[in-house]
A and B are shown apart, each in its own frame.
Chain A
Amino acid sequence: MASTTPADTPPAPPVPGPGSRSTGRLGDKVFLGLSKGSGILLLVIMASIAVFLSYRSVIALSDNEGNFLTTFEWNTAGDPPVFGIAVLLFGTVVSSIVAMVIAVPIAVGIALFISHYAPRRVAAPLAYVVDLLAAVPSIIYGIWGALVLVPYLEGLNSWLDEFFGWTYVFEKTEIGIPRSLFTVGILLAIMILPIVTSVSREVFLQVPRMNEEAALALGATRWEVIRLSVLPFGRSGIISASMLGLGRALGETMAVATVLSPNFLVSLHLLNPGGGTFAQNIAAKFGEANEFGRDALIASGLVLFVLTLLVNGAARLIIARRKEYSGANA
């Protein structure tokens, strides 16, 4: 259930300064120890993951004959080994962008419908169904994607190719069933829809009544209330919701591995089959790789780790910059 994942809980309020908690009572001390311990443990776990990834990566990278960032090849068993992440980085970013472009507007629309348009007896079941989407295991999405979505998308692909082929991105230059980055993006969009929807919905429901009444009293229609009061208040919430979804899309493994027919080519023709992502590549190769091959895969995992950190950092920057204008002080 999406509603029980930790990601859905609102961020904890800031802890008051040290001066305000030194009452010396036993309960305070125990709780202080517990919370401090949890905080330190979290940092230790993060640091040890980073150290582990870096250490194993260095082993692999020092023997790599190719340029790790620009090589379009993954041959770790060769002598000398040549591997690079260019294709994986491209595939991961592109499929996630496709997913975001499709999912975020739809999710915000669903969230607005549930929070501000639907009558209450429709809204509650609908919210529940959207949350249920998050309960479907990703391998099920993968199987459904491969067996249902891929054949179904052939029609859409030829339509896009015919009418939007001039955009280059939607030009299909290779024959083949659409096990493409575009298909992966659509599948990822469906998978991140529930998390983006439910976080946005929660934020929209928290818009203070007086903010909405301010717009209503000026003679705003329902859409104008949303534009004047709800969306500005929810902006940082939508950004965090999208970043949570993006984090999922970047790291999604099984569904991508099941749907994509991987190769090591970079092509902006998104409808062409082929491509690869970090997680998919690791899942596909980890089992049969030798010790060195695994270190190389770990190196690619480190890049994914850094990429996710950067995405989250950027999200926080955006939210912090908007703080002066946020509804928090209203």
Chain B
Amino acid sequence: MAKRIDVSGLSAYYGSHKAIDDISMTVEPRSVTAFIGPSGCGKSTFLRTLNRMHEVTPGGRVEGKVMLDDENLYGSSVDPVTVRRTVGMVFQRPNPFPTMSIFDNVAAGLRLNGSYKKNELAGVVERSLRGANLWDEVKDRLNKPGSGLSGGQQQRLCIARAIAVEPDVLLMDEPCSALDPISTLAIEDLISELKERFTIVIVTHNMQQAARVSDRTAFFNLAAVGQPGKLIEIDETDRIFSNPSVQATEDYISGRFG
């Protein structure tokens, strides 16, 4: 079930360093929201606050509220482990479990949850691999290690692993930055299909990619190195790329800095 994310007054810290300052935004369900901005502007940090991965970094801590429909992810009784089971994540570099077969990689999340029936497992794995457009390439070697696939295939395997547990939200942290253009295209096509079922948030350095895949785009910036990153504006992607309301956004997307 895709869910709406509603962030209000969110700041994140590394120790005493404030990485992002007072961010509020709404992410619509069944849509793709892209985060763009120069390096160090905190867009990845912000993404990682949405599934409570920020706090696994030593010294990482968060202030503010992230509502997933009606539930505050930072509520005092919320277990971060449960949050991460409903908010999936795909990383910059493909990271399948190197010791596991392709099948076991996709099944890993289900096995963690423990909420599956043995005879359903194969079906879920096939559905997830089909969902990640990888089934035809790997159906004959499901028992081979996932680390034997190409980079683009590994990344789609990671997407299959993330969607196998039917998360509410799928976070993607520069999922194509380690991939060649063909693999990138395959992932972008996949994102367009996945948004029918999931709420997708994607961080990207590639503005063309943001323009191609996203419905809404958020631009982050920082005043100077060492200053916390801020959300400058969020709007329909078409508007951000044609007629943004803030001058800094226009400077960035037209390549005047960053």
**Do A and B bind?**
yes
Chain A residues proximal to chain B, CB less than 8 Å = 208, 210-211, 213-221, 224, 228-229, 232-233, 235, 324-327, 329-330
Q: Are B89 and A229 in contact (CB under 8 A)?
A: no
By a CB distance below 8 angstroms, the chain B residues around A326 are: 98-99
Closest Cβ–Cβ distance, residue B13 to chain A (whole Å):
18
Among A218, A235, A327, A330, which residue has its beta carbon within 8 angstroms of that of B108? A218
Closest Cβ–Cβ distance, residue A137 to chain B (whole Å):
38
Chain B residues proximal to chain A, CB less than 8 Å = 51, 53, 56, 81-86, 88-89, 91, 93, 95-100, 108-109, 112-113, 145, 147-148, 158, 161-162, 165
Q: Are A219 and B112 in contact (CB under 8 A)?
A: yes
Q: Are B56 and A325 in contact (CB under 8 A)?
A: no
Closest Cβ–Cβ distance, residue A238 to chain B (whole Å):
13
Distance of A325 Cα from B143 Cα, bound (Å): 12
Closest Cβ–Cβ distance, residue A149 to chain B (whole Å):
39
Q: Are A232 and B100 in contact (CB under 8 A)?
A: yes
Q: Given A211-B97, A219-B84, answer yes or no on A224-B91 (Cβ-Cβ < 8 Å).
A: no
Q: Are B99 and A325 in contact (CB under 8 A)?
A: yes
Closest Cβ–Cβ distance, residue B132 to chain A (whole Å):
15
Distance of A326 Cα from B158 Cα, bound (Å): 18
Among A210, A217, A330, which residue has its beta carbon within 8 angstroms of that of B88? A217
Q: Which residue of B lies closest to A327 (CB)?
A: B98
Q: Which residue of B lies closest to A227 (CB)?
A: B112
Q: Are A224 and B95 in contact (CB under 8 A)?
A: no
Distance of A159 Cα from B202 Cα, bound (Å): 62
Q: Which residue of A lies closest to B158 (CB)?
A: A214
13 examples of A-B residue contacts, CB within 8 angstroms: A211-B97, A213-B53, A213-B91, A214-B91, A217-B88, A217-B89, A218-B112, A218-B161, A218-B165, A232-B97, A325-B100, A325-B147, A330-B95
Distance of A215 Cα from B109 Cα, bound (Å): 8
Q: Are B148 and A324 in contact (CB under 8 A)?
A: yes
Distance of A235 Cα from B100 Cα, bound (Å): 13
Q: Are B98 and A329 in contact (CB under 8 A)?
A: yes
Q: Are A324 and B112 in contact (CB under 8 A)?
A: no
Q: Are B99 and A327 in contact (CB under 8 A)?
A: yes
By a CB distance below 8 angstroms, the chain A residues around B93 are: 210
By a CB distance below 8 angstroms, the chain A residues around B162 are: 217-218
Closest Cβ–Cβ distance, residue B145 to chain A (whole Å):
5
Closest Cβ–Cβ distance, residue A252 to chain B (whole Å):
33
By a CB distance below 8 angstroms, the chain B residues around A213 are: 53, 56, 91, 95
Q: Given A210-B91, A211-B97, A224-B112, answer yes or no on A217-B84 (Cβ-Cβ < 8 Å).
A: yes
Q: Are A233 and B99 in contact (CB under 8 A)?
A: yes
Q: Are A218 and B109 in contact (CB under 8 A)?
A: yes
Q: Are A221 and B98 in contact (CB under 8 A)?
A: no
Among A218, A220, A224, A233, which residue has its beta carbon within 8 angstroms of that of B98? A233
Distance of A253 Cα from B56 Cα, bound (Å): 47
Q: Which residue of A lies closest to B84 (CB)?
A: A219
Q: Are A232 and B53 in contact (CB under 8 A)?
A: no
Q: Are A218 and B84 in contact (CB under 8 A)?
A: yes
Q: Are A217 and B82 in contact (CB under 8 A)?
A: no
Q: Given A219-B81, A325-B145, A330-B147, answer yes or no on A228-B97 (Cβ-Cβ < 8 Å).
A: yes
Q: Which residue of B lies closest to A218 (CB)?
A: B109
Closest Cβ–Cβ distance, residue B125 to chain A (whole Å):
14
Q: Are A210 and B97 in contact (CB under 8 A)?
A: no
Q: Which residue of B lies closest to A325 (CB)?
A: B99
Q: Are A214 and B112 in contact (CB under 8 A)?
A: no
With A218-B85, A324-B148 known, 15 other A-B pairs at CB within 8 A are A210-B91, A213-B91, A214-B95, A214-B97, A217-B51, A218-B109, A218-B112, A219-B85, A219-B86, A219-B165, A228-B108, A232-B97, A232-B98, A232-B100, A325-B100
Counting chain A CB atoms within 10 Å of each CB, which of B53, B82, B97, B158 scores highest?
B97
Closest Cβ–Cβ distance, residue A320 to chain B (whole Å):
15
By a CB distance below 8 angstroms, the chain B residues around A217 are: 51, 53, 84, 88-89, 91, 162
Distance of A224 Cα from B85 Cα, bound (Å): 13
By a CB distance below 8 angstroms, the chain A residues around B89 are: 217
Distance of A229 Cα from B96 Cα, bound (Å): 10
Distance of A94 Cα from B165 Cα, bound (Å): 48
Distance of A224 Cα from B83 Cα, bound (Å): 16
By a CB distance below 8 angstroms, the chain A residues around B109 are: 218-219
